[in-house]
Structure 1
Amino acid sequence: MKKTVLITGATGGIGLETARALAARGFHILLHGRTLEKARMAASSITEGSVSPIHADLSDLTAIHDLAGRVKALHPHLDVLINNAGVWNSRQVLTAEGVEETFAVNHLAYFLLTGLLRDHLQPDGRIICVASDSHRQVKGMRFDDLNLDGNYHGLRSYAQSKLANVLFCYEYDRRKRDRTTICAVQPGLVQTDIGIKGNTWLHRLAWRVRRRMQGNKTPAEGAATSVFLASVEDAPPSGLYWDNLSPKRSYSSSYSEEEARRLWEVSEKLTGYRYQF
Structure 2
Amino acid sequence: MEKTVLITGATGGIGLETARALAARGFHVLLHGRTLEKARLAASGITGGRVSPVHADLSSQEEIRDLADRVRVNHPRLDVLINNAGVWNSEQLLTAEGVEQTFAVNHLAYFLLTGLLRDHLQPDGRIICVASDSHRQVKGIQFDDLNLDNNYHGLRSYAQSKLANVLFCYEYDRRKRDSTTICAVQPGLVQTDIGLKGNTWLHRLAWRVRRRMKGNKSAEEGAATSIFLASVADNPPSGLYWDDQFPKRSFSSSYDEEQARRLWELSEKLTGFRYSF
- Superposed pair shares fold, TM > 0.5: yes
Q: CA deviation at 1:215?
A: 1.2
SS in 1 for 2:140: coil
Q: Which residue of 1 aligns with 2:163?
A: 163
Q: Which residue of 2 aligns with 1:74?
A: 74
1:182-213 Cα shifts (integer Å, max 9, x gaps): 00000000000000000000000000011111
Structure 1 gap ranges (5+): none
What's the TM-score once normalised by structure 2's chain length?
A: 1.00
What's the TM-score once normalised by structure 1's chain length?
A: 1.00
* 1:37 counterpart = 2:74: no
Q: Which residue of 1 aligns with 2:15?
A: 15
1:104-135 Cα shifts (integer Å, max 9, x gaps): 00000000000000000000000000000000
How many residues are paired up?
A: 277
1:229-274 Cα shifts (integer Å, max 9, x gaps): 0000010000000000000000101001100000000000000000
* 1:121 counterpart = 2:118: no
CA distance in 2, matches of 1:177, 1:75: 24
2:45 aligned partner, one-letter code? S
2:205 aligned partner, one-letter code? L
CA distance in 2, matches of 1:156, 1:38: 29
Structure 2 gap ranges (5+): none
Moved over 2 A (4+): none
SS in 1 for 2:99: coil
CA distance in 2, matches of 1:250, 1:82: 19
1:66-99 Cα shifts (integer Å, max 9, x gaps): 0000000000110000000000000000000100
1:83-102 to structure 2, matched below 5 A, reads: 83-102=83-102
CA RMSD after TM alignment? 0.3
Percent of residue pairs identical: 85
CA distance in 2, matches of 1:45, 1:151: 42
Q: Which residue of 1 aligns with 2:140?
A: 140
Q: Which residue of 2 aligns with 1:276?
A: 276
1:181 aligned partner, one-letter code? T
CA distance in 2, matches of 1:210, 1:254: 26
Q: Which residue of 1 aligns with 2:244?
A: 244
1:196-207 to structure 2, matched below 5 A, reads: 196-207=196-207
CA distance in 2, matches of 1:197, 1:52: 25
